[in-house]
Amino acid sequence: MSNVLTHYNYLHAIPEPGLQEFKTAAYLAAKLEAAGYAVTCHIGGATGIVGTYDSGLPGPVLGIRADMDALTHIIDGKTIQRHTCGHDAHCAMLLTAAEEIIAENSIKKGKLKIIFQPAEETGAGAKIMLEAGVIDDIDILLGMHIRPIQECRSGQIIEAMYYSSSCTIKAIIKGIPAHGARPHLGVNAIDGAIAAITAVNAIHMNPVVACSAKCTRFLCDSGVTNAIPERAAITFDIRAQYNDTMKELKEKVIRAIHAGAATVGATVESLEIPTELPAAELDPEITKILGDIIVESFGKEALCPPFTTPGGEDFFWYTSKLPHLKAGFTGLGVDAEPGLHHPDMHFDLSALENGVIIHKKSITKFLNEPCTD
């Protein structure tokens, strides 16, 4: 038996939100150091950690990344942190593999970088790690996420997770205030916002490629109900399977917001994109290697084909900003129920051993065979 459950139980009991993973990071850093890694903490002034093991011999630089943050839920009126996306499991599996691979003296070439990234849920973490330059020298980067029961069963593993691109667009629609008795002297911001939403809903995209754009927040209150409101705030959630589809959809949404508001004489006072995640870019060769490792470890029935999800993952900032990276991302079947981000999310803990095995075999695959050149 490995240490995976010990690590998991410890991390599960100390859920911390993005950029506040202080206890989590301290635990992971101490364990990595004890295992023989050169550890860098507080990356980019935040909570990220990189543990490096250099074989001293030529070879590729392999990075494996796990995310550390928990989610904030409001349950029975109380704001609490809870690991409902399984990031505690991701850290526990990667730490266990990192410890075992050194204890077994399995690295014969190149360099291994164990990356514990903060703030995946807010989309900020990967960018901080990138800006600090700690990913620059990596050739192959691997990630893993536990999956809900609907996607893949415990004991099975998805060889490639194709996450979608997602972004949030916030706009302030500006009208002209007036007395409710004289609406002709004003421009109702609510009318402008509704026209903008209707224009967005009328966007047509190639139906062969999955994408969606919808209004998810509409706020307008001038404080009185007998006046024409001046401002309305609208927010759109936008998703697309591919990055070029997102580019097209985003342009159309922005144009529709402006044009829609203009139909009633309103204007767009401000428009911002506070969060954005690129779609998955995975290397087919790495996916093939991961598929072989899954079959070799657990048999053919365990291998699930590539899976496309409208969900986002900030891991793909790495491939988006560093196109030389060859990336692989597996989905670990753990029977997570009722679903990720559900306050009562729970899963089959015994499946975590499978994640440890995949990580270890990946490290062995890329950093074990001695260099001949």
Residue ranges of the binding site for Mn(2+): 85, 87, 121, 145, 341
168-195: b or e for each residue (b if 16 or more CB lie within 10 Å)? bbebbbbbebbeeeeeeebbbbbbbbbb
Least distance (Å) between residue 95 CB and Zn ion: 17
Least distance (Å) between residue 185 CB and Zn ion: 48
Q: CB-wise, 85 or 102, nearer to Zn ion? A: 85
Q: Is the peptide bond before 338 cis (omega within 30 degrees of 0)?
A: yes
Q: CB-wise, 135 or 345, nearer to Zn ion? A: 345
Least distance (Å) between residue 67 CB and Zn ion: 6
Least distance (Å) between residue 71 CB and Zn ion: 7
Q: CB-wise, 85 or 169, nearer to Zn ion? A: 85
154 vs 144: CA distance, rounded Å? 14
Per-residue string for binding with Zn ion, 29-68, x by CB under 5 A?
Answer: ----------------------------------------
Q: CB-wise, 52 or 84, nearer to Zn ion? A: 84
Place of tokens 């204007």: 267
Q: Which residue is nearest to Zn ion (CB)?
A: 85
Least distance (Å) between residue 214 CB and Zn ion: 20
Place of tokens 């087919």: 284
- Binding to Zn ion (CB under 5 A) within 62-91 occurs at 85
Q: CB-wise, 85 or 282, nearer to Zn ion? A: 85
Least distance (Å) between residue 7 CB and Zn ion: 17
The DSSP call for residue 245 is H
Least distance (Å) between residue 329 CB and Zn ion: 12
Place of tokens 């097209």: 248
**Binding site per annotation, positions:** 85, 87, 121, 145, 341
Q: How far apart are the first and last CA of the chain?
A: 37
Beta strands in 27-96 (DSSP E): 38-43, 48-54, 61-67, 71-75, 78-82
351-370: b or e for each residue (b if 16 or more CB lie within 10 Å)? bbebbbbbbbbbbbbbbbee
- Binding to Zn ion (CB under 5 A) within 208-237 occurs at none
Which sign, positive or negative, has the C-alpha torsion 130, 356, 102, 49? positive
Q: CB-wise, 66 or 85, nearer to Zn ion? A: 85
Q: CB-wise, 85 or 240, nearer to Zn ion? A: 85
Per DSSP, the three-state class of 102 is helix
Cα 141 from chain centroid (whole Å): 15
Structure-token pair, residue 253: 């949404």
Q: CB-wise, 85 or 363, nearer to Zn ion? A: 85
The vertex-204 CA angle with 203 and 206, nearest 5°, equals 145
Residue 142 pairs with which residues in a beta bridge?
64, 328
Answer for the pair 240, 210: CB distance below 8 angstroms, yes or no: yes
Least distance (Å) between residue 90 CB and Zn ion: 8
- 10 Å CB burial of residue 282 (0-12, 13-18, 19+) is buried
189 near Zn ion, rule: CB under 5 A: no
Site for Zn ion, rule CB under 5 A: 85
